[in-house]
Amino acid sequence: MIPSRMVKMLRPALVLVAMIGSFPAAARAPTAVVRSGQVEASYTMGLNGITIGRFKLDAIVERSTYTMTIRGTTSGLSRLVSDGTGLLKSSGQIAGATVLPKDYYLDTTESGQTSSVVDMRMRSGTIVSVAALPPLPIKADRVPLLPQHKHKIVDPLSAMIAPLYKGDMARACNRTIPVFDGWQRFDIRLFYKSTAEVKGEGGSYSGTVYVCGARYVPVAGHRPSREQVKFMEANTNLEVWLAPAEDIGLMLPYRMQIGTEAGVLTIHASRFASTGRDQRAAAAN
């Protein structure tokens, strides 16, 4: 979706687009009961105020099983962005206060050619199998990926699922998320900043969203000497707004802001709507 010279620079930031969530291992406050239903959202992606892409999210929860899909496109409006497409899919289970991904798939193209593919299988937070293309080049200064780095992790898309804490929704911001994207292992440390009010139309969400700050912490698979890694480690311009999808008892991203070496990348929901299973059944009749 973004040229190879930009993928290396923006990978941690772009992963943040698809992973602002995941339940902590042990919740310290009661979470809402997860209910069957669906969230449909459309997002606009901008770089320095210029629209460079759009994508749609579809999340379906059936009892304790979830399936999430993101489809998106970018347009080559400048030398920094090429025409591209992206498809991400993930599925798994929600067991109490824990998200347990099973499958994760990523497929992106650039100018009509495949640019990256990840196919990953997980069991109870542990990688069972993973294939990621292109492979990381062998470099002497790369921090090696060891077996322990593939345990107690979530994939980027499953991590979009955030807990909805009863009476204290801001608590969803205060946690650390262990992520493995097929190439690298890193943490995203979230912290509560504030709230904001949003107004949607035509059934889109209106109300309070919860603003989380974030920091990127590389663990393995990265090269500490690279300037883009140093930039992301020091980056304080990482932010996500979480919106409650109370019909299904979860929270998902409404807006994201990511400082990059090319400028400020924003992802904003033009539509964000959730429906419970009973509402979906009524609408079908």
8 Å CB contact between 275 and 283: yes
Query: Would you write out the chain's pLDDT as a tens digit for each of its 285 residues?
Result: 333 434 443 444 445 544 444 444 434 456 668 889 999 999 999 988 889 889 999 999 998 899 999 999 887 655 556 678 889 999 999 876 678 999 999 999 887 787 899 999 999 899 999 999 999 999 999 999 999 999 999 999 988 888 788 788 888 899 898 999 999 999 999 999 999 999 988 889 999 999 999 999 999 999 999 998 999 999 999 999 999 999 998 999 999 999 988 889 999 999 999 999 765 554 554
Quote the strand ranges of the chain, DSSP E: 37-47, 50-62, 65-74, 84-95, 98-110, 113-123, 126-133, 162-163, 175-180, 185-198, 207-220, 238-245, 250-260, 263-276
pTM of the entire predicted model: 0.86
Q: Using CA atoms, how far apart are residues 111 and 108, in angstroms rounded to an integer?
A: 10
Q: What is the DSSP letter of 204?
A: -
What angle separates helix 227-234 from helix 4-17, to the nearest 10 degrees? 20
How many Å apart are CA 193 and CA 214, to the nearest integer?
10
Tokens 């990926």, located at residue = 145
Under DSSP, is residue 220 helix (H, G, I), strand (E, B) or coil? Answer: strand
